[in-house]
Amino acid sequence: QVHLVESGGGVVQPGESLRLSCAASGFTFTSYGMNWVRQAPGKGLEWVAFVSYDRINKYYAESVKGRFTISRDNSKNTLYLQMNSLRAEDTAVYYCANGGEVVVTRIDSWGQGTLVTVSS
Amino acid sequence: QSALTQPASVSGSPGQSITISCTGTSSDVGGYNYVSWYQQHPGKAPKLMIYEVSDRPSGISNRFSGSKSGNTASLTISGLQAEDDGDYYCSSYTSTSTLVFGTGTKVTVL
């Protein structure tokens, strides 16, 4: 049974940084690409970033390119999202999700999400 | 990358069938057979219902089916049940190796 547990969310001011983590279990972490997907309050889903199973390929949504960095530690079965220069429009629930191998073609399983609030 | 276009809401009575459309471009929906559909209940994480246009993950009811024609994909829910109430999103792989979601459709079982 896939288990994805996000942590690191919270309230920050515009321009500040935050690092999200996602602990994965119940599947072979090193065989799956991993993603971050976010959902602003009352809004739809927005794919944010993907890292391939072997850490070689990384892709980002245009809205976060240059500000966010996705990474993974396959020895710890953990996914990360470093978020810099945060803006009010980055306020959302951030979901960790597995899906894809070298590119993301779908999202298979999702965590329960962690809320990030960017506000002064 | 613009979000795929879905109707804001669709409704139906128990037992009926409904269809949700998902319209993109030749750079996403029309160019690849990598369209997926997700169900989301309030306050919960989304759940994969259909992948690669028409395949169902293990455990998903065969009341859910998917198809695609040109730049538009569709999800059909037959034999509508109260538990099908919720939000539905499509997604597609894109020509820039990213994933794009649809705008979302609220399904109401009357």
Q: For residue range A50-80, list pLDDT tens digits in order.
A: 999 999 999 999 999 999 999 999 999 999 9
Q: For residue range B31-55, list pLDDT tens digits in order.
A: 999 999 999 999 999 999 999 999 9
Subunit contact B93:A104, Cβ cutoff 8 A: yes
Share of chain A above pLDDT 90, in %: 98
Task: Give the pair of three-digit tokens for residue A31.
Answer: 């065989």
Find all residues with CB under 8 Å of B44, minimum gap 6, and list them. none
Subunit contact B45:A103, Cβ cutoff 8 A: no
pLDDT of A2 reads: 96
User: A13 to chain B, minimum CA–CA distance in Å?
Assistant: 25
- Find which of A68, A95, A107 to mutate to test the B interface (most B CBs within 10 Å of its CB): A107
Q: For residue range A9-61, list pLDDT tens digits in order.
A: 999 999 999 999 999 999 999 999 999 999 999 999 999 999 999 999 999 99
**Strand order through the sheet with A3-7:** A3-7, A18-25, A78-83, A68-73
Q: Decide if pLDDT at B1 tops 90.
A: no
Chains A, B: CB contacts within 8 A come to 69
pLDDT of A100 reads: 86
| B60 Cβ under 8 Å from any chain A Cβ | no
Q: For residue range B56-101, list pLDDT tens digits in order.
A: 999 999 999 999 999 999 999 999 999 999 999 999 999 999 999 9
pLDDT of B54 reads: 98
pLDDT of A56 reads: 96
> In B, residues 21-50, which contact A (CB 8 Å cutoff)?
32, 34, 36, 38, 40, 45-48
Task: Give the pair of three-digit tokens for residue A120.
Answer: 């002064």
pLDDT of A119 reads: 97
For residues B69 and B66, what is the distance between their CA atoms, to the nearest angstrom? Answer: 11
pLDDT of B36 reads: 98
| A120 Cβ under 8 Å from any chain B Cβ | no
